[in-house]
Amino acid sequence: MGNSRIAAVDVGNDAVKAIFGKVDYELSIPNVVARDIEDRPVIGIEELDTKDPLTGIHIKIHSPALKENNAIYRVGQLATKSDNATELDPGSSKSEEDQPLVMLFTALALDAVREENKNLFKRNQNVVDSNYTLGTGLPLREVKEGKDAGYRSKLLGSVHQVEFLVTPKYQGLKVNIKFDEVKVYPEGFAAFINLVMDNNLNIINKDLIDKRIIIQDIGGLSTDIAVIKNRNVDDDKAQGFNLGVSESLEAIREEIRSKYGVELDSRRDVVEIITKKHDRNHIMVKGSRTSVHEITDRILLDLAKKQYRLLRNVWKKNSQTEICYFVGGGSVVLKEYLKTLNNNLDGYNIDFFEDEKESIWMMANAYYKLISDNLKRTENNKKPEEKETVKAK
């Protein structure tokens, strides 16, 4: 089977977060794609090799897992500048859309072509053959509907090829991606693992391990609420909702456009306006610093009320809950609104992660811990002569 590299990939609705190898490489790409032509025009073509590849991801993807095979895309930062850029729509299923797979394959290909991995994967002229052991996840709702099995089978057993077109440093390279193993975890359970265990799966939060906990993971398109009891997710009580922050971010973006004539490239730009340390909730209009506080407060408070209603309903059915943790990128955006509502209303024992990076990277970290543990246990169960055939890097 050759060398298999660990990849933990969280295809979030705002961005893809990925951790590779022995945590030797991390990657974050805005979850935005735009269909494109093969020979995109570039100003200063001779400077292409000096630029950061992440600023100009331009690829062609061949994969039997995709509905639209052999399509050409701008991905991430480059896509945000396109008129036809697409982000995932509310109500869409992550397990059934092409876009999450495009983002997943792109992240893996960007890792595979790195100079540091030259000795890990076989290279034949401009083709890199890569093998990955993947840990990833789907919203709780989709896992409860059994969609994880179909998602996993789409990835296993096929070769998926990413061809870099007009991309800095990697132009002309092709990456063949094969999966030796794919584990698809429910997102709520992953959040619990990350709360209580370190990268070696040692318990780091003894206070939490036997508590009754609610984890409310607010994403872009969905919210997962996991109820943890006796160190396990209670499958009957766990729920997934089609309520995330994307629609509200889109509404803010649209209102700013219609009121001030300011075009924001993507939802990520809206998040930056809401969460930046200085000049929060301000934009530049014709060179003047302008407050958009009224727009953001009105729209986000409305969403926070809906999120709080979900919490209240779940807590009512699980009255012996001791604490609720709000996690995910959406919780970073809604934190202050949720805290204010809770102080004025029910006063539940709720908590957030003050480290915003930790909250946003929580799923990728959890998948890394889970897939590493799975690999370790698989290795330990093998006969000595079999252990030589697989080396995870």
Q: Is 246 exposed, middle or buried (0-12, 13-18, 19+ CB in 10 A)?
A: buried
**Residue-wise pLDDT tens digits, 62-98:** 999 999 999 999 999 999 888 888 877 766 788 999 9
pLDDT at 43 over 60: no
How confident is the model at residue 190, as a pLDDT?
74
Q: By C-alpha distance, which of 164, 102, 131 is closest to 2?
A: 131
Tens of pLDDT, residues 257-280: 999 999 988 888 898 899 887 888
Cα dist. 199→4, 369, 371, 373 in Å? Answer: 19, 5, 10, 9
In the structure, what pLDDT confidence band is assigned to residue 385 with cuts at 50, 70 and 90?
low
User: Average pLDDT, stretch 178-205?
Assistant: 83
Q: What contacts 294, CB < 8 A, 6 or more positions away?
A: none
Q: pLDDT tens, 175-189?
A: 999 999 999 998 767
pLDDT over 50 (residue 55)? yes
Per-residue model confidence as pLDDT tens digits over 320-347? 999 999 988 888 899 999 999 999 999 9
- Per the DSSP assignment, residues forming a β-bridge with 233 are 228
Q: Domains in the chain, please, with CATH?
A: 2-186 (3.30.420.40)
pTM of the predicted model, to two decimals?
Answer: 0.84
Q: What is the mean pLDDT of residues 276-299?
A: 91
What pLDDT sits at residue 116? 93
Burial class (CB in 10 A: 0-12, 13-18, 19+), 92: middle
CA 253 and chain centroid, separation:
21
Question: Going by C-beta distance under 8 Å and a sequence separation of 6 or more, which residues neighbour residue 292?
Answer: 252, 256, 260, 273, 281, 282, 283
Tokens for 123? Answer: 């290279």
